[in-house]
């Protein structure tokens, strides 16, 4: 790792990146009334806004980051369910297919669930895994929020897909239905509780992940 890269990472963690808000309020060298984001022109250009709240980046850079992180978990699960012969390295450009299927398991990447009941309003979790051998369904929702919003996003995702979990119990009677919220903040950190919950909810034996 170069000195410049190390310094950049430290600046991110210390929130020393020269955004408009930082320059105006920390250094006092610019007008405090001129802090609008230079990308979207809406919110105040702070670290939180640029990394997690800019609408102009939501469907591009944020989505790219989201998918890049989630696919590491997804490919590991494919391998664990014997739906893939190997796991590509984390830096690979390989993109998941929407569906992987065998007689014993199924995996879905960003595919909506077609519900039979109108009370299901949110039906598109990021990934789903169905283990027919062990009669388990795992729903995975990935989020990369601002560093102070991890717990909030976890609760939001759990509530958002409550009706869908109920629907899955009706579509797969006798199966255990689980949801894991993979919450990794914009600086790459996660909670110990999330790590423990994720390991406990994996479709297959979790010993290999401990």
Give me the residue spans of the domains in the chain: 1-53, 59-202
∠176-178-180 over CA atoms, to 5°? 160
Range scoring the smallest mean pLDDT among 129-133, 144-148, 204-208:
204-208
Whether residue 203 contacts residue 138, with contact meaning beta carbons closer than 8 Å, is answered with yes
Helices (H), the chain: 3-14, 20-22, 47-48, 55-58, 61-80, 150-160, 162-171, 192-201
Q: What is the pLDDT of residue 5?
A: 65
∠188-111-127 over CA atoms, to 5°? 35
* Residue 185, token pair as written in the block: 């903040």
Q: Can you name the residues that pair with 181 across neighbouring β-strands?
A: 141
Range scoring the smallest mean pLDDT among 29-33, 74-78, 201-205:
201-205
Return all residues near 196 (Cβ < 8 A) that are at least 6 apart.
none
Give me the mean pLDDT over the 17-44 stretch.
88
Q: What is the pLDDT of residue 132?
A: 95
* Residue 103, token pair as written in the block: 């007689």
Q: Which of 151, 210, 200, 193 is nearest to 178 (CA)?
A: 200
Dihedral sign computed on CA atoms, order 181, 184, 190, 191: negative
Q: What is the pLDDT of residue 6?
A: 65
Give me the mean pLDDT over the 35-60 stretch.
92
Q: How many Å apart are CA 197 and CA 180, to the nearest integer? A: 7
Query: Residue 210 pLDDT > 60, yes or no?
Result: no
Q: How many Å apart are CA 13 and CA 59, to the nearest integer? A: 24
Q: How many Å apart are CA 14 and CA 26, to the nearest integer? A: 13
Q: Which of 139, 138, 152 is nearest to 183 (CA)?
A: 152
């Amino acid at each position: 790792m170069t000195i410049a890269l190390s310094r950049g990472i430290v600046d991110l963690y210390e929130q020393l990146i020269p955004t408009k808000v930082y320059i105006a309020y920390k250094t006092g060298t610019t007008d405090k009334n001129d802090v609008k984001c230079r990308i979207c022109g809406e919110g105040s250009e702070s670290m939180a806004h640029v990394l997690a709240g800019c609408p102009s980046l939501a469907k591009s850079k944020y989505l790219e980051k989201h998918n890049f992180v989630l696919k590491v978990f997804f490919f590991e699960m494919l391998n664990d369910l014997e739906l893939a012969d190997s796991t590509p390295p984390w830096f690979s450009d390989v993109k998941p297919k929407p569906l992987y299927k065998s007689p014993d398991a199924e995996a879905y990447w960003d595919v909506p669930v077609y519900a039979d009941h109108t009370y299901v309003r949110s039906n598109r979790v990021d990934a789903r895994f169905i283990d027919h051998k062990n009669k388990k369904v795992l729903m995975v929702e990935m989020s990369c929020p601002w560093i102070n919003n991890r717990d909030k996003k976890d609760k939001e995702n759990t509530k958002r897909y409550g009706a869908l979990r109920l629907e899955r119990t009706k579509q797969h009677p006798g199966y255990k239905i689980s949801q894991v919220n993979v919450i990794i903040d914009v600086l790459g950190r996660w909670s110990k509780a999330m790590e423990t919950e994720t390991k406990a909810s994996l479709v297959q034996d979790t010993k290999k992940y401990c």
